[in-house]
């Protein structure tokens, strides 16, 4: 790919794009000096080279993940940043099959990273941006979906499909104006109807553009359906909602609650779980709560500096700020607590009294 820099045109307000690095040319210290001299931090490439660029960052990420010289922390940074770029392009032009195919392949790389390197999700959790944008939210949901599906013992092909559902679940928001997506005040009826249309829009956009697994497509369509039938777009309930869609409903809600938005502060994990148990217990498929709490305890370790989580074998301490911290009793998945394990499991199988959040206290 040729790379360009913008230089001001003399006696005019315009800039001209000048090719500074040719395709296959090695980036040298002379280039670095030139960047420094002109105070430039970005290079540009022709828009028609975008597919090659997406292929390039996918390949570079694969190489970095396999490089034993690179620390897991650096790998996590590269995986996270490149995922954000890929989702940005996928949302900008979801009808472009290549963008979605790159996303598909990239999720496989992410899943390999998360499943083969035990500390990967901890490092990725540190990368998770609390400051909300539709792109960072999509990356967070992709990573948490994939890691949680793996934690639940699902096979890798399902983990891939569930991770991709996370990456693409909000594609239908691509035509909704930022002013509505980021509106700090209550939405009026017309705006709310527009927001509610995004699962079906995303489904329609992607249904024909590329071959996606039925599970992934269903997640895009059903990710706002509540288990008790109070969600949208169709008010589906119970068995009408697929298990991957129930998983993304939980993860999507958790990431939205813990994110910082223009109209609300970030909520720490312990408080987020309390809010979800108190206000969303009918909406979320209850057998997922317990393993999710154990999962949060395990992934965080020393990560989430501002939203620390510690885990015990059966007692998960979710730290927060001041009084917003405490202990939640939950058992790891396995036996009857694993909602996606062998054999059916019903809501009544989970002793929900054990999921009551304990009072605040030192974490």
Binding site for Fe ion (CB under 5 A): 170
In the chain, the largest separation of any two C-alpha atoms, in whole Å, equals 75
Pairing verdict, β 309-311 and 315-318: antiparallel
Smallest gap from residue 273 Cβ to Fe ion (A)? 21
Q: The dihedral of CA 67, 80, 126, 212: what is its sign? A: negative
Q: Which is nearer to Fe ion, 161 or 170 (CB)?
A: 170
Q: What is the dihedral of CA 335, 338, 340, 345, to 10 degrees?
A: 70
For 316, the 3-state DSSP assignment is strand
Q: Which is nearer to Fe ion, 89 or 170 (CB)?
A: 170
Find the residue with minimal CB distance to Fe ion.
170
Residues whose CB falls within 8 Å of the CB of residue 290, separated by 6 or more in sequence, listed in order: 330, 331, 337, 350, 354, 355
Q: Which two three-digit tokens encode residue 278?
A: 């108190």
Smallest gap from residue 199 Cβ to Fe ion (A)? 6
Smallest gap from residue 48 Cβ to Fe ion (A)? 31
Q: Which two three-digit tokens encode residue 118?
A: 């035990």
Q: Which is nearer to Fe ion, 89 or 225 (CB)?
A: 225
Q: Which two three-digit tokens encode residue 258?
A: 């813990």
Q: Which is nearer to Fe ion, 223 or 271 (CB)?
A: 223
Q: Which two three-digit tokens encode residue 231?
A: 């969600």
Smallest gap from residue 290 Cβ to Fe ion (A)? 25
Q: Which is nearer to Fe ion, 166 or 332 (CB)?
A: 166
Smallest gap from residue 188 Cβ to Fe ion (A)? 19
Residues 293/278, Cβ–Cβ less than 8 Å: no
Distance of CA 175 to the CA centre of its chain: 20
Q: What is the dihedral of CA 23, 26, 31, 35, to 10 degrees?
A: 70
Rounded distance, CA 160 to CA 142, Å? 10
Rounded distance, CA 338 to CA 212, Å? 27
Smallest gap from residue 124 Cβ to Fe ion (A)? 21
Count CB-CB contacts under 10 A for residue 345: 16
Cβ burial of 343 (10 Å; 0-12, 13-18, 19+) is exposed
Residues 148/295, Cβ–Cβ less than 8 Å: yes
Smallest gap from residue 357 Cβ to Fe ion (A)? 26
Q: The dihedral of CA 143, 146, 150, 153: what is its sign? A: positive
Q: Which is nearer to Fe ion, 170 or 290 (CB)?
A: 170
Q: Which is nearer to Fe ion, 130 or 256 (CB)?
A: 256
Query: Radius of gyration over alpha carbons of the chain, in Å?
Result: 22
Q: Which is nearer to Fe ion, 198 or 271 (CB)?
A: 198
Smallest gap from residue 194 Cβ to Fe ion (A)? 12
Q: Which is nearer to Fe ion, 64 or 247 (CB)?
A: 247
Smallest gap from residue 137 Cβ to Fe ion (A)? 9
Residues 316/292, Cβ–Cβ less than 8 Å: no
């Amino acid at each position: 790919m040729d790379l360009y820099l913008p230089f001001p045109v003399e006696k005019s307000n315009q800039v001209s794009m000048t090719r500074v690095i040719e395709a296959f040319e090695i980036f040298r210290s002379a280039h670095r000096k030139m960047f420094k001299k002109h105070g430039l931090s970005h290079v540009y490439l022709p828009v028609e080279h975008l597919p090659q660029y997406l292929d390039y960052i996918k390949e570079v990420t694969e190489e970095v993940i396999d490089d034993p010289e690179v620390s897991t922390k650096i790998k996590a940074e590269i995986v996270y940043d490149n995922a954000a770029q890929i989702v940005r392009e996928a949302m900008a032009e979801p009808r472009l099959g290549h963008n979605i195919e790159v996303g598909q392949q990239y999720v496989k790389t992410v899943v390999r990273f998360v499943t083969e390197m035990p500390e990967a999700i901890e490092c990725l959790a540190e990368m998770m941006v609390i400051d909300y944008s539709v792109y960072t939210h999509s990356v967070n949901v992709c990573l948490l979906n994939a890691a949680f599906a793996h934690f639940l013992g699902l096979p890798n092909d399902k983990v891939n499909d569930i991770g991709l559902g996370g990456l693409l679940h909000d594609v239908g928001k691509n035509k909704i104006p930022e002013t509505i997506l980021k509106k700090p005040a209550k939405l009026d009826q017309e705006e709310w109807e527009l927001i509610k249309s995004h699962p079906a829009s995303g489904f329609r956009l992607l249904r024909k553009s590329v071959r996606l697994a039925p599970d992934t497509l269903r997640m895009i369509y059903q990710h706002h359906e509540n288990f008790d039938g109070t969600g949208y777009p169709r008010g589906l309930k119970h068995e009408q909602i697929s298990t991957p869609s129930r998983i993304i409903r939980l993860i999507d809600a958790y990431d939205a609650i813990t994110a910082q938005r223009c109209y609300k502060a970030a909520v720490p994990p312990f408080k987020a779980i309390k809010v979800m148990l108190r206000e969303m217990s009918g909406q979320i498929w209850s057998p997922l709560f317990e393993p999710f709490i154990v999962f949060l305890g395990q992934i965080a370790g020393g990560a989430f500096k501002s939203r620390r989580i510690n885990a015990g074998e059966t007692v998960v301490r979710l730290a927060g700020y001041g009084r917003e911290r405490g202990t939640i009793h939950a058992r790891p998945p396995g036996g009857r607590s694993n909602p996606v394990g062998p054999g059916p499991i019903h809501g009544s199988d989970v002793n929900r009294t054990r999921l009551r959040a304990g009072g605040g206290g030192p974490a």
